[in-house]
A = this chain, B = another copy of it.
Amino acid sequence: MNGAESLVTTLIDQGVDICFANPGTSEMHFLSALENPRMKSVLCLYEGVCTGAADGWYRMKDKPASTLLHLGPGLANGLSNIHNAKRASSAMVNIVGEHSASHLKYDPPLTSDIEGLARPLSHWVRRAESSTSIAWDTVTAVAKASEHPGQIATLILPGDTAWKDAGQAITPAPTTPVRKAPDGARIDAIAQVLRSGEPALIILANKGTRGRALELAGQVAAGTGCRLGTQFFTARIERGAGRVPLERIPYAVAQGAAFLQGFKHLITVETKEPVAFFSYPDKPSLLKAPGTIVHELCAADEDSTIAFEMLVDALGLGATAPILQQRFETAPPSGALNPQSIAYALAAALPDHAILVDESLTTGRETMGYTMGARPHDLINNMGGSIGYGTPVATGAALACPDRRTVCMVGDGSAMYTIQSLWTQAREGLPVTTIIFANNQYAILKAEYANMGAGTPGPQAMAMIDIDRPTIDWVAMAKSMGVPGVQVDSAEGLYQAMVRSAQEPGPSLIEVKLY
C-alpha cells in the first residue's frame, strides 16, 4: 500500500471512520485511498463546513472525525470552526495536503507556512515525513485528539508521502484515553462547603452536562440544596423532560453578575469561573460578586463522572434521587412572531430526542428557558463565538445520529457564513431542519453598539449592521442547494412547518420572517 492508503487504513483502525473532505490536486492519492468501504467520505463545498461538521460529529459521538483540507489556504478556510471546536473541547484529526518536499523549495503559488497556520488553533501539529512512518504519525494524531478534553490534531501530508510505498499495514490497538480522578482532599473540602448550607452554585460543563455525571450532580443538588448551572454556552447539554435541570448564567454582563450575586460559592466542573464574553468600557471582566469563593471540583482534564461519584460518596447521598425536570406540555402558539411565541413553537414542536443546535443569537438567546420542559433533547451551543458554526455542526451531528431530528436555529447573519452546509445536507439526505431567524440585521450589534458606549449608530454604521439591502431570499437560497424551504410569518406557521419538517425524511429550511 502507499502512504495515503496506510494513513486511511490506520485512521479506520484507530476508530476514525468518517472524513469531511474538500480535496485538491495534491490529495488525489488520499482520495483514491478513501475508496476504502470502511471509511465514510462526505464532500463539503467549503472547508468551514468540513471542520464544523467534524465538531458536530464529535459532540454526538465522543470520538474524532477526520477532515481533508487542501494545503494552507484550505486549512485557513476551516480555522474559524476549528477555533469553535477547540473551545468546545471537540476532538478532530485534520489531514492537510502539501507539496512534496522536492517541489516546496521552488515556492510554487499554493505554498504557505502550514505549520504556522495550524499551530495557533491545534494542540498537536506534525508533518508526515515518509510513507513508511505515516501510520505511526496517524496513531499519534488520533491518540492525541482522543485525550480528555478532546484535542485538535493536524497532520500535514506531503504529496510524495502519500504516493510512495508504505510497506505492510500496521495495526496497533487504539489507545484508551486515561480517566483522571480529582484529588480526594479537594472533594472533601467541597463536600464541607456544600454541607455548610451557604448558597452555592455548581457550574457544569463539557462531559459534566450529560449522562451519569449529570444524574450524580442532580443527586448532590437534591441532597444539599445547592443549585446547578451552566455557563451561557455549553458544548452539549442533555435537557428537557426527565433530565436534571440546569440554570443558565445570562449572557449580558449586568444580568450575569446579578444572577451570580446571591452565591457565596461557585463550584466549577470542567470549566472556569464565568467571564464576560467581551470587554466593555467600565464593565468588569469577571462576573462573580466580591467575596464569592471559587472552588474547582473537576479540572478540564479530569473526569467529572468520577468527581461526582467521589462527591456523592463524601456526602453520603448514594441513595438520594435527583430532582428531574417535569414534562411541560406547551400548546402550539398562534399570532405574531416574537421571541416568546417562537420559543413556544419550538417547545411544542421539538420531537423526542431532537438535537437542537443553537446559533439563534438575539432571537433565541433569552428564550431557551421555555424549552426546559420540552421532550428530552440535546442542546448544542457555539463555544468559540465565531459565527457560522451552526449549519456545519448540525450537518455533522445529523450524520452522527441519522435516526434523530437535528434542528438548527440560526440567525440570518450567521447562516450566511457557511451556508454551503445545505448542499451537503441535501446530498446526504440528512434529517436537519434549519430555522433561519431572518431579521435582516446583525441585531446583536445594535445592542452591543450601545453597550460599548459608542453612542447611536449613524447611517454609515447602521449600513454595516443592517443586511436588508437586498433582503436575502432564504427559500431561494435553500432551493439553489436542493433543500425544500418555506417562509413563515406567524407562530402557528412556524409550529406547523416544524412539525411537517420532522415528518419528512431529509433536510428542510424554514425562514422565520421577522421584518
Measured between alpha carbons, how far is A232 from B117 in the docked complex, in Å?
27
Verify A464–B108 contact, CB threshold 8 A: no
Which of B45, B71, B117, B423 interacts with A120 by CB under 8 Å? Answer: B117
Q: Does A213 contact B (CB under 8 A)?
A: no
B41 touches A464 (CB 8 A): yes
A88 and chain B: residue at smallest CB distance: B109
A338 at the binding interface (Cβ < 8 Å): no
Please report the C-alpha to C-alpha distance between residue A216 and residue B25 in the assembled complex, in whole angstroms.
38
Q: CB within 8 Å of B: which of A203-229?
A: none
Judge if A169 is at the interface, Cβ distance under 8 Å. no
- Is A87 engaged at the interface, CB distance under 8 Å to the other chain? yes
Contact B277 A452 (CB under 8 A): no
Interface residue A270 (Cβ < 8 Å from any Cβ of B): no
* Interface status of A474 (Cβ within 8 A of chain B): yes
In the complex, which residues of chain B have a beta carbon less than 8 angstroms from the beta carbon of A383?
109
User: Is A79 interfacial (CB-CB < 8 Å)?
Assistant: yes
Q: State the Cβ distance, A252 to closest chain B Cβ, in Å.
A: 12
Q: A126–B401 Cα gap in the complex (Å)?
A: 45
Query: Is there contact, CB below 8 Å, between A25 and B445?
Result: yes
Add 15 more A-B contacts to A35-B458, A117-B117, A419-B420 (CB < 8 A): A23-B464, A25-B451, A29-B452, A29-B454, A31-B445, A73-B386, A77-B79, A77-B80, A102-B279, A107-B272, A108-B278, A109-B233, A113-B120, A163-B454, A426-B470
Query: Is A341 an interface residue, CB under 8 A from the partner?
Result: no
Docked pose: A448 CA to B48 CA in angstroms = 24
Complex contact B277–A109 (CB within 8 A): yes
The answer to whether A73 touches B77 (Cβ under 8 A) is no
Interface size counted on chain A using CB atoms at 8 A: 104
Check: A256 CB closer than 8 A to any chain B CB.
no
List chain A positions with a Cβ less than 8 A from chain B.
21, 23-26, 28-29, 31-32, 34-37, 39, 41, 43, 45-46, 48, 71-74, 76-77, 79-80, 83-84, 87, 99-100, 102-103, 106-110, 112-113, 116-117, 119-121, 159-160, 163, 233, 272, 275-281, 285-286, 383-386, 388, 413, 416-417, 419-420, 423, 426-427, 442, 444-445, 448-449, 451-455, 457-461, 463-465, 467, 469-474, 476-477, 479-482
The residue that A34 contacts in the complex, of B73, B448, B464, B467, with Cβ under 8 A, is: B464
Cα–Cα distance between A444 and B364 once the two chains are bound (Å): 43
A385 to B474, CA, bound (A): 31
The 23 sampled A-B contact pairs (Cβ below 8 Å) are A25-B444, A25-B452, A26-B278, A28-B449, A28-B452, A31-B449, A31-B461, A37-B460, A41-B463, A45-B417, A73-B79, A73-B83, A79-B79, A103-B279, A108-B277, A108-B385, A109-B385, A159-B279, A159-B452, A163-B453, A419-B419, A423-B467, A474-B480
A442 to B83, CA, bound (A): 28
Neighbouring B residues of A463 by C-beta, 8 Å: 41, 43
